[in-house]
């Protein structure tokens, strides 16, 4: 199959996935979609989360579902959008909770690469989507691939923080070993559920407290 362009030490860790039939089918599907339709994010950004946060540098995993499906939004990092793009409602609510949790103003740059560079893996379960068609690339193999990512981190790393917002993320994180990692769960930050337990959940300070307890440098959110 075509050489998969993925850096940060992930290529070696996930080599077994790239040889499987499901990944070959997924690659073919995604290639055809990019050829015949408008697909987000840009091809160079499909594996951006991995490029920005190498395997050995991961401290925190935030799990999203689909990339944004509007123009100039998806940038390869879950919940983030391109610089200069207005923050979508979920990201606005993340910033609100962040400021409330830490009790001071925060950088509201929508790109979020500043988090990724500190070890926050901003991982969507599905890494591509057709324009204006949410969920259009679900069930094609991405979920199996990102399950393998989570399993590899779960098995080979210790004292990571997994932040699971919403039922979809909670379900995807079912098999994380809670005896060696911290799992933070709450409702999703979307306007439909943020007021039912996302606001006030303090995931950012809980994450940093745990990292400090385990000898890691906290995240500058």
- 66 labelled catalytic: yes
Buried b / exposed e along 126-150 (16+ C-beta atoms within 10 A): bbbbbeeeeebbeebbbbebbebbb
The answer to whether the beta carbons of residues 45 and 54 sit under 8 Å apart is: no
Q: Which residue has the tokens 């992930």?
A: 10
Q: How far apart are CA 221 and CA 95, in angstroms?
A: 10
Q: Which of 3, 57, 66, 109 is catalytic?
A: 66
Q: How far apart are CA 202 and CA 92, in angstroms?
A: 15
E strand or H helix at 40: strand 39-40
Q: Number of C-alpha atoms within 13 angstroms, CB side, residue 175?
A: 10
Q: What angle do CA 111, 71, 88 make, to 5 degrees?
A: 50
CA-wise closest residue to 124 among 70, 77, 91: 77
Residues acting as catalytic residues: 66
């Amino acid at each position: 199959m075509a050489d998969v362009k993925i850096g940060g030490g992930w290529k070696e860790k996930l080599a077994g996935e790239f040889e499987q039939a499901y990944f070959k089918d997924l690659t073919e599907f995604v290639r055809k979609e990019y050829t015949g339709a408008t697909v987000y994010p840009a091809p160079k950004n499909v594996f951006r989360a991995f490029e920005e946060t190498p395997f050995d540098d991961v401290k925190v995993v935030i799990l999203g579902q689909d990339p944004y499906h509007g123009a100039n939004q998806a940038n390869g990092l879950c919940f983030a959008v391109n610089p200069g793009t207005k923050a979508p409602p979920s990201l606005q609510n993340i910033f609100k909770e962040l400021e409330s949790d830490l009790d001071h103003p925060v950088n509201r740059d929508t790109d979020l690469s500043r988090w990724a560079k500190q070890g926050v893996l901003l991982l969507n379960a599905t890494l591509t989507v057709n324009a204006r068609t949410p969920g259009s690339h679900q069930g094609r193999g991405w979920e199996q691939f990102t399950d393998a990512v989570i399993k590899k981190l779960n098995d080979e790393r210790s004292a990571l923080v997994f932040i699971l917002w919403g039922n979809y993320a909670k379900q995807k994180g079912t098999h994380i070993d809670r005896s060696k990692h911290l799992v933070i769960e709450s409702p999703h930050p979307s306007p439909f559920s943020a007021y039912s337990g996302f606001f006030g959940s303090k995931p950012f300070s809980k994450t940093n407290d745990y990292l400090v307890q385990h000898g890691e440098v906290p995240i500058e959110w």
